[in-house]
Amino acid sequence: MFDKKMPEAWRVLRIQSEMVDGIEHLTKIAHAVNIFGSARLGPDSPYYEQAEHLGCLLSRAGLNVITGGGPGIMEGANKGALGQGARSIGLNITLPQEQKPNTFQDISLDFRYFFVRKFMFMKHAVAFAIFPGGFGTMDELFEALTLIQTGKSEPFPVVLIGSGYWQGLIDWMRATMLSEGCISQTDLDLFVVTDSIDEAARIIISHYRSHVAGNEDE
C-alpha cells in the first residue's frame, strides 16, 4: 500500500526504516518456522486446532514460530506456541480492511510494505508449514518454492497440511505445469503433503536438528 502524497525519496527512507526496525527486533531470534494459512478459518475450523497443535509442538522443541499475526490459522499457531518454550511472533500487515493482531504474540511487529514483511519471513525461516488459505497463503508458498528452486535460499521443508485441500493444485501442477515443461519432476519434490500434524512437526524438527542446529555446533 503506497501513500500517494509522499515523495518517492521519502518513501524509500520509510521502507529502509521499516526493514531496519524489523531486523533489529528479530536479531536475537536466529531461526523460526513460518506457519501460514487463512485468516478466515477460525476456532470452529479443524485447521485452526491443528495449527495450534503444531505451534505447540514446535515451540516445545525450541523452535520459534512466526505467523502473519492476524486471526484464523495465524492466531491458532501463535496461541499454540505462546508460553511453550520458544517465541511466538507475529509480523502484522497494515491493510485497508484493518487486520487486528491476535493476542498470542511475544513479539508483534507491524509492516506497511508486503515485500519488507516477506523478507523478514524468509530471513529466519528453517521451514514453512502451510495450511489451507487464499491468495496470500499461495503467495508465500510459491515465493518459498521459487527461492529454493533457483538456489536463492538454502533448501528447507515446505510442508502442506491438508491433502484434501491441496490435491487439486498438485494434480494441476503435474498434469499441466509438468507436462508442458514449465517445471521439472524434481521441482515437485520441493514440498511434501501430509494430514498428520505429528508428521509435519517431525519433518521440520528433524531438518532443523540435522541441518541447522548441527551446523551451528561445528
At residue 1 the predicted structure's pLDDT band, cuts being 50, 70 and 90, is very low
Write down the pLDDT at residue 15. Answer: 86
Cβ proximity of 11 and 95 under 8 Å? no
The 3 state secondary structure assigned to 123-169 is HCEEEEEECCCCHHHHHHHHHHHHHHHCCCCCCCCEEEECHHHHHHH
Is position 111 within any domain? yes
pTM: 0.91
CA distance 213 to 51: 24
Could you read off the pLDDT of 142-184 as tens digits, one per residue? 999 999 999 999 999 999 999 999 999 999 999 999 999 999 9
Write down the pLDDT at residue 197. Answer: 98
Is position 3 within any domain? no
Is position 2 within any domain? no
Is position 98 within any domain? yes
Write down the pLDDT at residue 204. Answer: 98
At residue 6 the predicted structure's pLDDT band, cuts being 50, 70 and 90, is low
Q: How many separate domains does the chain show? A: 1
Residue 129 has pLDDT above 50, yes or no: yes
Q: Residue 107 maps to which CATH number?
A: 3.40.50.450
Residue 25 neighbours by CB distance under 10 Å: 15
Torsions phi, psi for 195 (to 5 deg): -105, 0
Looking at the chain, the whole-number percentage of residues with pLDDT higher than 90 is 77
Is position 130 within any domain? yes
Write down the pLDDT at residue 100. Answer: 84
Residue 95 has pLDDT above 80, yes or no: no
- Record the cell numbers describing residue 56, joined without a space: 505447540
Angle between helices 114-123 and 135-149 (to 10 degrees): 50
Is position 149 within any domain? yes
Domain that residue 131 falls in: 8-217
Write down the pLDDT at residue 10. Answer: 78
